[in-house]
Amino acid sequence: MTAVPTKPTEQTDLELIGVHKRFGTKPVLTDINVAVRQGEFLAILGPSGSGKSTLLKIVAGFERQSTGIVTLRGADVSDLPPYRRNVNTVFQSYALFPHMSVFENVAYGLRRKGVKSTVLRTRVDEALELVNLSRFAERAPETLSGGEQQRVAIARALVNRPAVLLLDEPLSALDLKIRRRMQQELKRIHEDVGTTFLYVTHDQEEALVLADRIAVMRSGHCEQIGTGAEIYHHPATRFVADFIGETNWFSGVFDNGAGIIMRDGTRLRTRATQGVANNTRVAVGVRPERIRIATDRESCRPDENRISAMINKIVFQGSSLRIEGRTSWGDPIELMQQTDRDAAAEPGKSATLAWDVSAMLLFQVTDERSAS
């Protein structure tokens, strides 16, 4: 397929058009089309092996795509080596130069460009100020903690004022508490500086917290690009639904008039759907937080589903309760409830569970193994 660049707009900082990548005969990226808006924080989210790191390397210039173009602010940079592209990378392992002080690390890119020393000094100081490390300027990198080293790496990249800042799972080597704090830092820095951020991660929570938009990757394909809310509430594929947040999955047969028929005959109502063929197997998903325990006194509304389930376990998780059970047709089911409410259910007893029809996700099962 011939790749044609879209009209360059002032609003697009980075574009990948028709990008494919093969290592030998093995496809690593297939038909990637991403347009990153100026000043956007875009997360590339996916499990290991999804090709997200390769994608970043292609943007940085360390790998070359097999077909397709990469454009930066409208210009085709596909043939440019990394040292000629106006992008900078924050590496997962920080990759600080161990034989140079923090100051010299940050100054490195500016020195390569021949920036005059007075200007250089000011800019490096600014960058260190941005990441709150001004007092560490003369230190050796190895004397800094992980979080501090990561901040040096960020300063080192940002001081060059790149068009796009690339971050390759920068927080994955940090402890949980420090990681959360660094996430806040990153968000603040992004807002302060306004540079476009392209952020690779496998942590869906991190992506949801940090990014304006998320591109979900799987096995070299981009499954969906959208805001966190869009992806969460309207996942385009079962994989996306599975990868973000938790979902209960049930298998049933779609009947155009009657809804979805489960193994034991229970019928689930569904919204009007197009594109789902009659009498085919479908995968139904409901997120745990959308399920509630219905009391007998309420009657079933037309826009909700009610089923009967046997409760097995109630797990106290601090601010929430996780209630585990089994549906009448034998599938495991989980729901989440705030702790401030009584569970209204007991292990060993059956209960009525209800959820809104609009909260249900529906996907066609294309083969026996489905889209897992």
Partner 1 sequence: MPAMTAPLPEHNSSGAVHSATGVTTDITSYLQLSPLVILMFVFAVVPLLGMLAITFFKSGIFGLEPHLTVANYLKFLGEGTYIRVLIKSMRIAFIVTATTIVISYPVAFWLAKVVTRHKLLFLIILFVPYWVNYVIRSYAWLPLLGNSGIINTFLIASGIIDQPLSWMLYNEFSVILVLVYVFLPFGIVPLYLSIDRISNDLLQASADLDATPIMTFVHVILPLSMPGLAGSFLTVFVLTIGAYVTPKLVGGTSGIMFGNLIADQFGITYNWTWGATLAVILACVTGAVVWLVSRRVPITKVFAQE
Partner 2 sequence: MTAQQNLTRIVFTIVAAVVLSFLYVPVLTLIILSFNDSVGISLPWVGFTLRWYGEALANFGAFNAFVNSVKLGICVGIISTLIGLLTALAFRRAIAGKSLVLASLLIPLLIPGIVLAVAQAVLWNVAGWTMNLWTSTLIGHLIYTSPFAFLTIFPRVHRFDPNIEAAAMDLGALPLVAFWTIVLPQIAPGLVASFLFCFTLSFDEFVRTLFLIGSQNTLPIYLWSIILNNPSPQTSAIAILSMTFSLVMVATGSMLLRQRRLIGHSSITEAES
**What are φ and ψ of residue 37, in 5° steps?**
-80, 155
346 binds partner 1, rule: CB under 8 A: no
Binding partner selected for residue 71 from partner 1, partner 2, none, CB under the kind-specific 5 to 8 Å limit: partner 1
Tell me the window of 20-28, 207-215, 231-239, 264-272 that interacts with partner 1 (CB under 8 A).
Answer: 20-28
Least distance (Å) from partner 2 to the CB of residue 169?
12
Question: Cβ distance 165 to 157 under 8 Å?
Answer: yes
With respect to partner 2, which residue has the nearer C-beta, 139 or 269? Answer: 139
Question: Cβ distance 166 to 87 under 8 Å?
Answer: yes
Element (H, E) at 199: strand 196-201
Q: In this chain, which of 7, 24, 177, 296 binds partner 1, going by CB under 8 A?
A: 24
Q: Whose CA is closest to 13, among 60, 100, 73?
A: 73
Query: Amino acid letter at 191?
Result: E
176 binds partner 1, rule: CB under 8 A: no
**What are φ and ψ of residue 187, in 5° steps?**
-65, -40
Residue 255, beta-bridge partner list? 259
81 binds partner 2, rule: CB under 8 A: yes
Rounded CA-CA distance 320/301 in Å is 26
Size of the site for partner 2 (CB under 8 A): 35
For the chain, give the number of residues. 372
* CA 134 vs CA 130, 138, 142: distances in Å: 9, 9, 16
Q: Which of residues 98-157 bind partner 2 (CB under 8 A)?
A: 98-101, 103-104, 107-109, 112-113, 138-140, 142-143, 156-157
Binding partner selected for residue 64 from partner 1, partner 2, none, CB under the kind-specific 5 to 8 Å limit: partner 1
Least distance (Å) from partner 2 to the CB of residue 136?
11
Least distance (Å) from partner 1 to the CB of residue 79?
8
Q: In this chain, which of 9, 11, 62, 256 binds partner 1, going by CB under 8 A?
A: 62
With respect to partner 1, which residue has the nearer C-beta, 85 or 202? Answer: 85
With respect to partner 1, which residue has the nearer C-beta, 64 or 188? Answer: 64
The two three-digit tokens of residue 278, written as one number: 């009659």
Rounded CA-CA distance 281/268 in Å is 14
Q: Which of residues 155-174 bind partner 2 (CB under 8 A)?
A: 156-157, 160
Least distance (Å) from partner 1 to the CB of residue 33?
14
Query: Amino acid letter at 342?
Result: D
Least distance (Å) from partner 2 to the CB of residue 220?
22
Least distance (Å) from partner 2 to the CB of residue 112?
4
Binding partner selected for residue 306 from partner 1, partner 2, none, CB under the kind-specific 5 to 8 Å limit: none
Q: Which of residues 98-157 bind partner 1 (CB under 8 A)?
A: none
Tell me the window of 61-69, 183-191, 308-316, 319-327 that interacts with partner 1 (CB under 8 A).
Answer: 61-69
Q: Which long-range contacts (CB under 8 A, 24 or more apart) does 154-157 make?
A: 154/90, 154/186, 154/189, 155/106, 155/127, 155/128, 155/130, 155/131, 156/88, 156/96, 156/105, 156/106, 156/108, 156/109, 156/127, 157/88, 157/89, 157/90, 157/109
Residue 7, beta-bridge partner list? none
Return the CA Rg of the chain: 25
Contacting residues toward partner 2, per CB under 8 A: 60-62, 81-84, 87-89, 91-93, 95-101, 103-104, 107-109, 112-113, 138-140, 142-143, 156-157, 160
Residues making contact with partner 1 (CB under 8 A): 2-5, 22-24, 26, 57, 61-64, 66-69, 71, 76, 78, 81-82
